[in-house]
């Protein structure tokens, strides 16, 4: 089967340089292998995302010379319209006895958690897993609405990342029971991304390295739900000179500012240089990069971008 990749941005603001690097590499990975690319809009959180940002995102990608074969603004490729698919997967996990309600507030969650992981997340202690039926009923009686967690087994899951190499986590110890549905009913990223990648036939997941720590639990969920797990490729993060990760709130490096300062060719050249595909940041088109692309050239570590 050919490569079927995807780019899955969250339309919560204008893309920044780091998002563009991930998009370009996802595009190059698919195109250099003669594969297809899906553009999925991750707008699960309707409070933080908007259709306007999604439309802007499509325009920014096209401006850069990137295209896709399916997806975009079509409802089938917008997570906010795919609740029925997530419901079904949730039910399957429930049937397997893997789901339980968690009544902890954020403060309680922090207190009931093991020390922070390297990525800043906390490993949930499983406190609500041990609630008795009577305790659950009491909390329900107080009007507490639970979030829903999936129970993680004491299992080491290894992901052979196509860029970063071998990455292993013990699900119970390093990850902990994670939320698959929020207390307001919205499905969580971890469940939605697995269901979508599987149902959309995605077999190459290319995205920023900040999500490498999600790969083992996602690979495991794929297996539990009966889907073949995709191959993962995590791309270097771009860091500001002070070591901070670029974020959407850094407007100086978002697409609005970048489009004023660079032509598409210049910006693509800069990204290609960060990605190790060219020796100098010179004007180039995405299409011209296709024969130059290889994961062997892409840095494994984060890249400090100075002041582009
Ligand atoms: N929607 C996520 C983001 O914009 C990416 C999720 C993924 O690629 O798995 O950061």
pLDDT score of 152: 97
Q: What is the pLDDT of residues 143-167, one digit of tens each?
A: 999 999 999 999 999 999 999 999 9
Residue range 160-182: average pLDDT?
A: 96
pLDDT score of 121: 75
Ligand 1 centroid, distance to 113 Cα (angstroms): 25
Which pair of structure tokens corresponds to residue 201? Answer: 């036939």
Q: What is the pLDDT of residues 92-127, one digit of tens each?
A: 999 999 999 999 987 666 665 555 566 667 899 899
Ligand 1 centroid, distance to 128 Cα (angstroms): 28
pLDDT score of 30: 98
Which atom of ligand 1 is nearest to 10's Cα? Answer: 4
Which pair of structure tokens corresponds to residue 263? Answer: 């032509």
**Residue 10: CB within 6 Å of ligand 1?**
yes
Which atom of ligand 1 is nearest to 9's Cα? Answer: 4
Q: Do 300 and 165 form a contact (C-beta atoms < 8 A)?
A: yes
Name the residue of 194, 198, 211, 212 to mutate for ligand 1: max ligand atoms within 8 A of Cβ: 211
Q: What is the pLDDT of residues 31-72, one digit of tens each?
A: 999 999 999 999 999 999 999 999 999 999 999 999 999 999
Provide the pLDDT confidence category of residue 241 given band limits of 50, 70 and 90: confident
Q: Which residue has the higher pLDDT, 200 or 244?
A: 200
Which atom of ligand 1 is nearest to 42's Cα? Answer: 1
Task: For residues 308 and 306, give the distance between their C-alpha atoms in angstroms, rounded to a whole number.
Answer: 6
Give the chain's mean pLDDT: 93
Ligand 1 centroid, distance to 114 Cα (angstroms): 26
Name the residue of 10, 202, 213 to mutate for ligand 1: max ligand atoms within 8 A of Cβ: 10
pLDDT score of 119: 65
Percentage of the chain surpassing pLDDT 70?
93
pLDDT score of 246: 76
**Residue 234: CB within 6 Å of ligand 1?**
no
Nearest CA residue ID for atom 6, ligand 1: 8
CA-based R_g, the chain, Å? 20
**Residue 4: CB within 6 Å of ligand 1?**
no
**Residue 42: CB within 6 Å of ligand 1?**
yes
**Residue whose structure tokens are 């920023």:** 208
Burial 130-167 (b: 16+ CB within 10 A, else e): ebeeeebeebeeeeeebbbbbbbeeeebebebbbbeeb
pLDDT score of 115: 56
Nearest CA residue ID for atom 7, ligand 1: 8
Neighbours of 279 (CB within 10 A): 8
Ligand 1 centroid, distance to 20 Cα (angstroms): 12
Q: Which residue has the higher pLDDT, 242 or 174?
A: 174
Neighbours of 119 (CB within 10 A): 10
Question: How far, CA to CA in Å, does 194 sit from each of 94, 167, 197, 214, 284?
Answer: 16, 18, 5, 11, 34
**Residue 44: CB within 6 Å of ligand 1?**
no
Task: For residues 149 and 112, give the distance between their C-alpha atoms in angstroms, rounded to a whole number.
Answer: 14
pLDDT score of 281: 95
Three-class HEC string of the chain: CCCEEEECCCCCCCCEHHHHHHHHHHHHHHHHCCCEEEECECCCCCCCCCHHHHHHHHHHHHHCCCCCCEECCCHHHEHHHCHHHHHHHHHHHHHCCCEEEECCCHHHHHHCEEEECCCCCEEECCHHHHCCHHHHHHHHHCCCCCEEEECCCCCEEEEEECCCEEEEEEHHHHHCCEEEECCCCCECHHHHHHHHHHHCCCCEEEEEHHHHHHHHHHHHHHHHCCCCCCEEEEECCEECCCCCECCCCCHHHEHHHHHHHCCHHHHHHHHHHHCCCCCCCCCCCHHHHHHHCCHHHCCCCCEECCCC
Enter the pTM of the model: 0.95
Name the residue of 42, 44, 57, 192 to mutate for ligand 1: max ligand atoms within 8 A of Cβ: 42
Please give the torsion angle defined by the CA atoms of residues 226, 227, 228 and 234, in that order, rounded to the nearest 10 degrees.
Answer: -130
pLDDT score of 280: 95
């Amino acid at each position: 089967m050919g490569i079927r990749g995807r780019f899955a941005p969250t339309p919560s603001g204008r893309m920044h340089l780091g998002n563009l690097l991930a998009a370009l590499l996802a595009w190059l990975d698919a195109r250099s292998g003669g594969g297809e690319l899906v553009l999925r809009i991750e707008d699960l959180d309707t409070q933080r995302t908007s259709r306007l940002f999604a439309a802007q995102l499509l325009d920014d990608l096209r401006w850069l010379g990137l295209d896709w074969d399916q997806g975009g603004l079509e409802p089938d490729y917008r997570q906010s319209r795919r609740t029925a698919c997530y419901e079904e997967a949730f039910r399957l996990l429930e049937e397997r006895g893997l789901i339980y309600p968690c009544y902890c507030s954020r403060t309680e969650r922090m207190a009931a958690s093991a020390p922070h992981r390297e990525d800043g997340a906390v490993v949930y202690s499983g406190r609500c897993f041990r609630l008795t039926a009577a305790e659950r009923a009491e909390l329900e009686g107080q009007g507490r609405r639970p979030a829903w967690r999936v129970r993680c087994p004491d299992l080491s899951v290894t992901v052979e990342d196509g860029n970063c190499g071998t990455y292993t986590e013990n699900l119970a110890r390093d990850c902990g029971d994670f939320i698959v549905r929020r207390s307001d009913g919205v499905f969580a990223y971890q469940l939605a991304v697995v269901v979508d990648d599987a149902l959309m036939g995605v077999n190459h997941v290319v995205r920023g390295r900040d999500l490498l720590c999600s790969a083992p639990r996602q690979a495991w969920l794929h297996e539990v739900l009966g889907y073949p797990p995709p191959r993962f490729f995590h791309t270097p993060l771009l860091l500001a000179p002070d070591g901070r990760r670029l974020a959407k709130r850094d407007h100086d490096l978002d697409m609005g500012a970048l489009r004023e300062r660079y032509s598409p060719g210049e910006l693509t050249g800069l990204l290609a240089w960060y990605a190790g595909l060219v020796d100098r940041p010179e004007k180039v088109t995405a299409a011209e990069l296709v024969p130059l692309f290889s994961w062997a050239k892409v840095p494994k570590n984060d890249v400090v971008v100075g002041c582009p």
